[in-house]
């Protein structure tokens, strides 16, 4: 499969989820198609942009074959899921502050789904990636420049970074149990 553009990956992921929800696509075929998507960065980004906020129940009752494919995709999926946790947490905080309950609920959905997925991915990779992102959210000078740039690019303020750190710590604490 040729690497899809980001917009094409969003469209394909949306189509796959709709087919799956209507029972026109088996869990196994869905997993194979998603594996093709998440094999590239834009494909993986498109899949998560389509699936994490969707009304579709896919990410709430992740089929085992799909989970296995997401785990097999490795560091790219872990990284994007960690970043989605950070972004949705920051936006949930922002929407709460501005009184935008509809968007807050949407951000909360992405946060919860990202949290749950992180708990199901390969624990060592998840803990390492979350530790790196946590260092950046806490403002540690030795944190990865890429993570500091990620947080700065979105313009997160100090309170949002505290919320991100708390969300990461919650996942880390649950993974240590």
Please write the tens of the pLDDT for every residue from 4-19.
899 999 999 999 999 9
Q: What is the pTM of this model?
A: 0.94
Among 88, 15, 10, 80, CA closest to 47? 10
- What is d(CA 48, CA 56) in angstroms, rounded to the nearest whole number? 12
Please write the tens of the pLDDT for every residue from 36-73.
999 999 999 999 999 999 999 999 999 999 999 999 99
- What is d(CA 126, CA 81) in angstroms, rounded to the nearest whole number? 9
Residue 174 C-beta-side C-alpha neighbours within 13 Å: 15
- Mean pLDDT, the chain, whole residue set: 95
Q: Give mean pLDDT, residues 26-43.
A: 97
Structure tokens at 12: 């394909």
Q: Which residue has the higher pLDDT, 175 or 150?
A: 150
Is the pLDDT at 119 greater than 90? The verdict is yes
Is the pLDDT at 85 greater than 70? The verdict is yes
Structure tokens at 174: 């649950």
Share of the chain above pLDDT 90, in %: 94
Residue ranges per domain, the chain? 1-73, 74-177
């Amino acid at each position: 499969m040729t690497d899809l553009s980001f917009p094409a990956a969003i469209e394909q992921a949306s189509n796959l989820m709709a087919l799956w929800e209507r029972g026109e696509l088996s869990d196994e075929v869905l997993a194979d198609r998603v594996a093709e998507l998440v094999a590239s960065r834009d494909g993986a980004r498109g899949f998560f942009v389509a699936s994490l906020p969707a009304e579709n129940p896919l990410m709430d009752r992740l089929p085992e074959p799909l989970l296995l494919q997401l785990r097999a995709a490795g560091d790219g999926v872990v990284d994007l899921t960690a970043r989605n946790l950070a972004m949705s947490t920051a936006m949930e905080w922002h929407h709460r502050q501005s009184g935008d309950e509809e968007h807050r609920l949407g951000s909360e959905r992405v946060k919860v789904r990202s949290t749950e997925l992180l708990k199901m991915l390969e624990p060592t990779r998840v803990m390492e990636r979350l530790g790196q992102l946590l260092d950046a959210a806490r403002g540690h000078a030795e944190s990865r420049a890429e993570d500091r740039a990620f947080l700065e690019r979105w313009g997160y303020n100090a309170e949002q970074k505290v919320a991100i750190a708390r969300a990461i710590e919650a996942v880390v604490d649950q993974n240590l149990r």
